[in-house]
Structure 1
């Protein structure tokens, strides 16, 4: 049985919030030789358009997140409206008891709306701090916050920490090291020495 990670997108998602984890998480298969490792992009349509205007195909629908071993929510300017859309939010039936559930920047609002951050430390993009706090999270100024099987990251490059958390939990630290080593500037790489 394999490992599946679902990356949740929607129109106007933040590009780097998808593409950095997409690349790093896929390196488990590409660099680490894990043929049982699958990364999916899930949405509500066959394609979604990023904030920068890039149209990308999805590989599944958001309802498939229920079966994933890990689910990551991207961010973007439409998140506040999406969390108020009951029909959209009801499409997610997630379980932190059996899944890793994480978010990038304003994606933390999805986790809060799903009741996963109440009374817990969490981080988000600075412009969404007040809204996240009003939803019951204890907002902290850190790039990455882990609460067991739930994690939040803030600042697009914190996607590296979020991806490493998933890889470490679902594979191991050695795989994290191999994946990160494969993207370092060449003078810092261990694999080439």
Structure 2
């Protein structure tokens, strides 16, 4: 399996890096996890500079695509040179968005008949588009999922694992990263949100 994490200029480190770390728990099953960006390097909202592994067109060929958020997402969705590179297919790919990344799902026409999760800052923009924004950390409609709140990126990563390799694999990945002394409670709470997202 190959999973790409779309990461744009001004990205939120928690969105891209937490998902990257959790998904890489699947290396022993020959999963490949890649950061994809419109340029070779991107700088986070806090000044962290990273190099991408893939271009956006290359990312669009992967089995699953997660879209991270950042402080420039509204600029991204207005940039035709970026958006024209994003050709995705929810019939053959898993697609997920974190916080303001849900604006890209909307721009790509993937939320026309669905609800979405997002952060509190992005919520008003989605409501203005007539999209139902849920008060919960993660939601999925078939192959399209969204998560709201930086730390909900763990749920999005676990959803991808659960869909592609099963619930037990997702629980094990979360158990590994969960705080010591809270592991069982942590995993149980997360799976209470993720399991309903696997239906449909």
- Taking structure 1 as the reference length, the TM-score comes to 0.91
**2:139: which partner in 1?**
145
1:16 aligns with 2:10: no
Among 4, 16, 32, the residue aligned to 1:6 = 4
State the shift of 1:187 in Å: 2.8
Matches of 2:99 and 2:51, distance apart in 1: 22
Runs of 4+ with >4 A deviation: none
Cα offset, 1:119, TM superposition: 2.7
Q: 2-side partners of 1:186 and 1:127: how far apart?
A: 32
Root-mean-square deviation (Å): 1.2
C-alpha separation in 1, matches of 2:40 and 2:80: 21
1:65 CA drift (Å): 1.9
> Whole-Å Cα distance in 2 between the matches of residues 160 and 69 of structure 1?
19
| Pairs aligned (count) | 184
**TM-superposed deviation, 1:188:** 4.1
Deviations 1:51-94 (A, max 9, x none): 11110111010111221111011111111111011221110000
Give 1 or 2: higher helix fraction. 2
Alpha-carbon distance between aligned partners in 2 of 1:133 and 1:111, rounded to the nearest angstrom: 14
Equivalence for 1:75: 69
Q: Is contact 1:65-1:94 (8 Å) kept?
A: no
Gaps of 5+ in 1: none
Measured in 2, the distance between the counterparts of 1:95 and 1:137 equals 20
* Cα distance in 2 for residues equivalent to 1:88 and 1:135: 21
